[in-house]
Amino acid sequence: MSRLTLGPGHRGAVGDALSVALPDRSRPRLRGLAYVLVGLRVPSIPLPSFRRLGGVERTPARPLVGLVIVSHSARIAEGTVELAAVMAGPDVRLRAAGGAADGSLGTNAERIAGAITEADAGAGVVVLVDIGSAVLAAETALELLPREIARRTRISRGPVVEGAVIAAVQASIGQALEEVLQAAEDAAGLEKR
């Protein structure tokens, strides 16, 4: 068994760090870790920071997959990005593309295209969308992008919040585009109880 300690920025009722035991075979791929962390049901404990793992500062050796959160509500998109950023750390490019151009509820293909461009570090982008027309707006945004960026962008069928958090963690550990997309989509089957 290996032990992964998350922190040291974590401060809460139970101490200064959250420690998770991992079987040695899971060490190269921490996919299960995202499910463990999302499954925590302790509201008095702030979510841990992934900026430092095991006391060692992380810097990505290669570009990481970025994420764009598309919602009809700017506040939902921004809040989801905030939550996913706490879990993934500063290395993953997370962008919110919520609301219509005038600030009302809705979606905006140009705003989504801009967010995809900003989120792309060269490894691709996963776009998570809330409902109906957000999918159409995201598809339209792909048509506005340079072909190279559009080719490495995927629109997820996964849930926005859970999918974003799990995908962001997977991106932060260097998973490839298709693996990050699959993690976002697998979040649809996440047990909440």
Q: Which of 7, 34, 72, 128 is catalytic?
A: 72
Q: pLDDT tens-digit profile of 12-40?
A: 333 333 333 333 433 333 444 444 444 43
| 53 in the same domain as 70 | no
In this structure, are 104 and 182 located in the same domain? yes
Residues 169 and 149 in one domain: yes
Pairing mode, strands 66-71 and 125-129: parallel
**Containing domain of residue 26, as a range?**
2-57
Contact 87, 50 (CB under 8 A): yes
Helix (H, G, I), strand (E, B) or coil at 67: strand
Q: Are residues 153 and 70 in the same domain?
A: yes
- Claim to verify: residue 122 and residue 96 sit in the same structural domain: yes
Domain count, the chain: 2
Q: Residue 165's domain is classified under what CATH number?
A: 3.40.50.510
Nearest to 123 by CA among 67, 177, 83: 177
Answer with the one of 57, 76, 94 that is the final residue of a domain.
57
Residue spans of beta strands (DSSP E) within the chain:
2-6, 18-22, 52-53, 56-57, 66-71, 94-98, 125-129, 153-156
Same domain, 21 and 70: no
Kindly tell me if the per-residue pLDDT of 136 is higher than 70: yes
Question: In terms of domains, do 78 and 52 share one?
Answer: no
Per-residue pLDDT, 9: 39
Do 97 and 165 fall into the same domain? yes
> Sheet holding 2-6: strands in order across?
18-22, 2-6, 52-53, 56-57
> Higher-confidence residue: 5 or 88?
88
Last residue in a domain, options 40, 57, 74: 57
- 72 noted as active-site residue: yes
Same structural domain, 11 and 70: no
Q: Which pLDDT does position 62 carry in this prediction?
A: 87
Q: In what order do the strands lie in the sheet with 94-98?
A: 94-98, 66-71, 125-129, 153-156
Residues 89 and 159 in one domain: yes
Same domain, 87 and 128: yes
| Residue 47 shares a structural domain with residue 84 | no
Rounded to two decimals, the pTM is 0.71
**83-133 residue pLDDT tens:** 999 999 999 999 999 999 998 999 999 999 999 999 999 999 999 999 989
The residue from 32, 57, 82 where one domain ends is 57
Q: Which amino acid is at 43?
A: P
Q: Which residue has the tokens 């958090």?
A: 165
